Amino acid sequence: MANPETIPAILDELERALSEEHRALRILDRDAIEHAAEQKLALDARLQQALASSQPGPADLAVLQRVRHAALQNQLLIVHARTCLQSVLSMVTGDSFQAYPGATAKRAAPSALRLDVRV
């Protein structure tokens, strides 16, 4: 039986955690997003410990690439969600619109939005 603390086993768990995080980000499940963050922190600690005694080999390259791709996809979802929220807040408050981080083109602020809400 394989040692569960091997680098490939931990990377497989990390890939699954990133997949669960992706699903949670797409449906905006705050509890699942927080759980995924906790899982990733625990996996990072385990991976650091495993890396102290051995290094990933060429056989680990494929899973490392998948983990990197999954992490980047999740990061894009997070940036997009943050930007959408900033846009909504800027419409409601009248503050200027902030583009994606690192964007060079300035966008005009949207016109003020009046919301009539009856309770």
pLDDT at 89: 84
pLDDT at 85: 83
DSSP assignment of 40-92 equals HHHHHHHHHHHHHH----GGGHHHHHHHHHHHHHHHHHHHHHHHHHHHHHHHH
pLDDT at 31: 95
What is the model's pTM? 0.71
pLDDT at 21: 96
CA-CA-CA-CA torsion for 53, 51, 62, 79, nearest 10 degrees? 170
Q: What is the pLDDT along the chain (119 residues), one digit of tens a residue?
A: 444 489 999 999 999 999 999 999 999 899 999 999 999 999 999 999 999 998 888 989 999 999 999 999 999 999 988 888 888 888 888 776 555 555 555 555 555 555 565 65
Which helix (H) or strand (E) is 106 found in, with range? none
CA-based R_g, the chain, Å: 20
